[in-house]
Amino acid sequence: MKRFFLCACVLILCARNSGATDLVGGEAPKMLTPEEALKTFTMAEGFEINLWASEVDTDLKSPTAMTFDSRGRLWVANIPSHPHAKPDAKPRDFISVLEDTDRDGKADKSTVFYDDLYLPMGLALADGGKTVYVASEPNLLKLTDSDDDLKADDAQIMLHGFGTEDNHHYVSGFQWSPGGRLFFGQGLFLNTQVETPFGVVRGFEGTVFRLDPRVHKMDIAGSYGWSNPWGIIFTKWGDPLLADASPAMNYYLPITASRFDYPKPNKYDNYIAKRGGYSFTPTGRRPSCGNELLDHEHWPEEVRGWYTTNQMKGWHGIRWYRLKESGSGYESDQPRGEEELLTCSDMTFRPVAQQIGPDGALYLLDYYNPIVGHTTYNFRDPRRIQTHGRVWRITAKGRETKWQPDIYGAETAALLDLLLSENERWGYFARRELQQRDGKEILPAAKTWLTKHSDNDHALLEVLWLHQNFNSLEPDLLARLLNSKDRRARTAAVRILKDWQLILPGEQTRPWLDAAITDSNQKVRLEAMVACGYHPDPNAAIGIAAKALEMDRDNGFDLAATETLTWLARNAAAVPPKVDSYLLPS
């Protein structure tokens, strides 16, 4: 016993001496005021940070997710019941809405929207905040504010049956895709089985879901050996990027989007050794929560478009990466070397979400808690703090912030013009506003608008996304983008072809797929490979997919190709010899 006690003491001292940033032994937490915490930040040269909101004067208690609405208000999911509800207490987790009414860079108004939730790890908005989709174990809820007074008037269980075996890995990372679908992910240990009008949807451990909430149609957008997906964003051209929190790796989602037979248990075979080969950022930087792109005119040209991720244990701060298309996805580097955007010396600082705000600044959600672990600390450890939370605001020194134009309720013509804004979040909210209106009004207006931008492939793609949102087929526009000279437009178009090939005639879609599978760009070929797995005729699809095996392939492409061809080989009447050779162990 004495030897055990001595060893424990040595381990604690070593942890302290090595700069440990989590509590050790019975160490008491040191909680800093917001003013004290501000002094613990070190910013990259040329950037600064200020406190935007805190528990002192707003409704923030263990905040875990956030998103802005089209009116510039910040919606925050709070989980004071974390890590779990006690038997004798009803959980009162809640959504708060924070506003900067005078636009001075600080929140000055706070409202509790709804307070009957359980561990809401993610939320998304529609109708300018009048509709809220929020996770509440084991459900996905739809909250409605019918009179627009920032109080939910109705709450409905939209979908039921999401896995709850480990609430740290519950569905989170809610993000609207350019095509109007809601993406979100779950992590390790969870088994989801959700009844929908279109059948049962099952997710085994690391899974990304895709939902059309208007018709309750949900499917699998990605399945891989992730630990805890906690951040999904889309580039200007619709490329989905995913942050996996626990190992702090980042992925180009389409390499994991191939068709498979549930439950795909082999996705965790030797995955720790393999996953670094698919991540476009370095390994060994864990864990991360939340991601964003610095895609706004406020940010200097040097860093504009850089990819940012939080890190909240071991090392605390925001890492940033310059992205470059490479092979079937992306690669990254760090031109500023070891100088990260933000570094914090306070171990209680826990950045869990980030988003470009209505003024172009980067907003950072701080869970602010001395304990985040659930395997090394008792769930009822009294040092778990459930009363704190902050929002920080990062800007570039000497550069003007510019508030977004009026979007909610704006004229259709003005919203269409915003789709081409260099400020990606403005385009995002304009697109969402258009997508929630009547398609019979929007699509004809978009067709007229295109006459002014007929030579702009991004404008064509924005209109194609509107058609996808309204489930309105537009094969001529799709064909034009499939033949675009811009690889980014072709990539996005093949991603839409994957869904529309189930409806359009095969004699029309097969030549498109056949051309895409031998495209000069590997990202386009990747999307075509994935699409082959969802083609209604496996016999035709496997012959098309086999052509890609004669061209250059990287690790990401081979991951998607192996899974697609495995599924096709099981469902086609005959397997081409080159596919057999590819799938057989070497």
What does pLDDT average to over the chain? 93
Angular region, 293: left φ>0, alpha ψ -120 to 50, beta rest: beta
pLDDT in tens, 186-231: 999 999 999 999 999 999 999 999 999 999 999 999 999 999 999 9
Confidence of residue 10 (pLDDT cuts 50, 70, 90): very low
Confidence of residue 330 (pLDDT cuts 50, 70, 90): very high
pLDDT in tens, 124-177: 999 999 999 999 999 999 999 999 999 999 999 999 999 999 988 999 999 999
pLDDT in tens, 77-121: 999 999 888 888 889 999 999 999 999 999 999 999 999 999 999
Angle (CA) 173-179-181 rounded to 5° is 40
Q: Which residues contact 337 (CB under 8 A, 6 or more apart)?
A: none
pLDDT of residue 586: 66
Q: Which residues contact 449 (CB under 8 A, 6 or more apart)?
A: 413, 416, 417, 459, 463
Confidence of residue 32 (pLDDT cuts 50, 70, 90): very high
Question: In what helix (H) or strand (E) does residue 36 lie, and over which residues does it extend?
Answer: helix 34-38
Among 176, 163, 336, 307, smallest CA distance to 243 is for 307
pLDDT in tens, 232-266: 999 999 999 999 998 889 999 999 999 999 998 78
Place of tokens 């490329």: 239
User: Cβ distance 238 to 183 under 8 Å?
Assistant: no
Confidence of residue 6 (pLDDT cuts 50, 70, 90): very low
pLDDT in tens, 489-505: 999 999 999 999 999 99
563-576: average pLDDT: 97
Neighbours of 20 (CB within 10 A): 14
Burial class (CB in 10 A: 0-12, 13-18, 19+), 267: buried
**pLDDT for residue 7 is more than 80:** no
Residue 480 CA to chain centroid, in angstroms? 29
**pLDDT for residue 269 is more than 50:** yes
429-451: average pLDDT: 98
Domain range summary for the chain, segments of one domain joined by +: 39-396, 473-583
CATH topology of domain 39-396: Neuraminidase (2.120.10)
Predicted TM-score (pTM) of this structure: 0.95
Q: Which residues contact 438 (CB under 8 A, 6 or more apart)?
A: none
| CA atoms lying within 13 Å on the CB side of residue 484 | 25
What percent of the chain has pLDDT above 70? Answer: 96
pLDDT of residue 381: 85
pLDDT of residue 29: 86
pLDDT of residue 4: 35
pLDDT of residue 384: 87
Angle (CA) 154-158-161 rounded to 5° is 135
More confident of the two residues 379 and 521: 521
